[in-house]
Amino acid sequence: MRRLGSARLVALAAFLLALDLRAAEKKPAPAPLFDVTLDKTAVALGDRVLVTYSARIPRGAALELDALVSPKLAPDAERTPVPSDAKRESPSESPGDKGPVLEFETPAPASLKTVKTADGQELVEWTRTFPFAAFVAGAIPIPGPRLVYTTPDGEKLNVRPPSVTLQVSSRLPGDQSPEALRPKADRGIYIPSRGFWFWASLVLGAALLAVLIWALARRRPKVETTKTAEEPPIAPSPEFLAALAQLSREAELLGDDPREFYSRLTHAAKRYMERRLSLPILESTTLETVRFLRESGIDFPSEIAPGELFGAADHVKFGKGASTRDEARRYLARARNIHDHLERRQAEIEARQAALAAQADAKTAQVPSQIAPSGHAGAAPARLGPAPSQASSARNPSS
């Protein structure tokens, strides 16, 4: 039993010794060495500066940017910057409300270049440039950015390049704070006066422009505006008869919807009566039309009364009543009878007016004329004097 226990102890000791040897053989990957360069070592406040980091890494390794770092301001009044791990993305980590010391721009991607060492080993030269501007005067430390180094075996290490110092000078006069400086006095702006050649060229240009416009206006062809004589309007009777002739042709092809036919029939009849009688009938209703005719003393026989024609048309147009072709022909005949009746009436009225005018002319011709003597050339023309009875009454106003 004792021999068995001692054997187990020897085996366990040998196993632990092997693990220690393997751990001793596995060495950690070395971190890359960085070189830092500044394109300017002394600048003024707000000037653009380029800081370049470069390193040689094995093939299969990689370097990635984790965060850019800006130094914090010291809380004292001397505004001495001190290094810090504050990220550019978190400027609120700076003490107080003084803001970040460095303002970085978006950097360009890293450049990779394969190089060979003196012993023939191939390495990759990694280079990346970061532009920034400093906004604090003094010796400003530029901390290296946070990088993640990935070894060829896949192991990740956090690395940082070394810091460099940048001398930043203020744009203000030395030994003076911004609060003690007075604003500079306003300086007047000198505006030179316009010389002779300026005004001369301006007048010449205006004259040339006027001549050009005049020449273009003369070359433009004149448009002769010829006034066309307006055609005399058609008399009421021929216009109405032409409309009835067109409606007669449409009545032979009357379909299931006769509303359009009766609308045109009543429009033609009312337009004829309005023009012939000088009454506002075209835009009036049926009742208003009948009232206008009655008040004007215009009578129609019962068999051709316009009220029946317009009432039947209203029944078809607004009541959606039906109508046959025979009914359409009958109402067209009634419209012609209305035309004939009004034409006869107007002819009789015109004949009576002509007879009365002839009688008046005859009476005027029987009145003796008084002709003034013409003793010399240019005497006043003869004029008709008043009748004897009228002359006596004119001389004696009291009669």
pLDDT digits (tens, 9 = 90+) for 85-107: 444 433 333 433 455 789 999 99
| Whole-number Å distance between alpha carbons of 69 and 91 | 10
Instruction: Give the total number of structural domains in the chain.
Output: 2
Last residue of a domain, one of 359, 376, 393: 359
Indicate whether 259 and 342 sit together in one domain.
yes
Helix (H) or strand (E) holding 55: strand 48-58
Q: Is the pLDDT of residue 194 over 90?
A: no
Report residue 349 as tokens: 């009225």
The reply to whether 166 falls in a domain is yes
Instruction: State residue 316 phi and psi, 5-degree precision.
Output: -80, -40
| Whole-number Å distance between alpha carbons of 345 and 332 | 20
| Per-position DSSP letters for 62-121, written without gaps between them | EEEEEE-B-PEEPSSTT--EE----BTT-GGGSSTT---SEEEPPPPPPEEEEEE-TTS-
The reply to whether 201 falls in a domain is no
> Given this model, what pLDDT does residue 22 score?
58
Closest CA to 239 of 263, 271, 262: 271
Q: What's 170's DSSP letter?
A: -
Instruction: State residue 392 phi and psi, 5-degree precision.
Output: -65, -40
| Whole-number Å distance between alpha carbons of 109 and 213 | 63
Indicate whether 244 and 346 sit together in one domain.
yes
Q: Is the pLDDT of residue 18 over 80?
A: no
Indicate whether 68 and 145 sit together in one domain.
yes
Q: Name the residue range of residue 84's domain.
A: 34-171
pLDDT digits (tens, 9 = 90+) for 348-365: 888 888 888 888 888 887
pLDDT digits (tens, 9 = 90+) for 22-77: 554 555 667 788 999 999 999 988 899 999 999 999 888 899 999 998 887 655 43
Q: Which residue has the higher pLDDT, 310 or 181?
A: 310
> Given this model, what pLDDT does residue 55 score?
92
The reply to whether 89 falls in a domain is yes
> Given this model, what pLDDT does residue 362 score?
85
The reply to whether 368 falls in a domain is no
Helix, strand or coil for residue 136? coil
> Given this model, what pLDDT does residue 380 score?
45
**CA dihedral angle for residue 333, residue 339, residue 344, residue 348, rounded to 10 degrees:** 160
Q: Which CATH number belongs to the domain containing residue 51 in this structure? A: 2.60.40
The reply to whether 227 falls in a domain is no
pLDDT digits (tens, 9 = 90+) for 133-172: 988 888 999 999 999 999 888 889 999 999 999 999 887 7
pLDDT digits (tens, 9 = 90+) for 368-380: 554 444 444 444 4
The reply to whether 262 falls in a domain is yes
| Whole-number Å distance between alpha carbons of 161 and 332 | 112
The reply to whether 366 falls in a domain is no
Q: Cβ distance 164 to 36 under 8 Å?
A: yes
> Given this model, what pLDDT does residue 53 score?
94
Indicate whether 45 and 167 sit together in one domain.
yes
Indicate whether 150 and 249 sit together in one domain.
no
Indicate whether 44 and 166 sit together in one domain.
yes
CA 175 from chain center: how many Å?
Answer: 59
Report residue 299 as tokens: 């009578």
Indicate whether 70 and 155 sit together in one domain.
yes
The reply to whether 181 falls in a domain is no
Q: What's 159's DSSP letter?
A: E
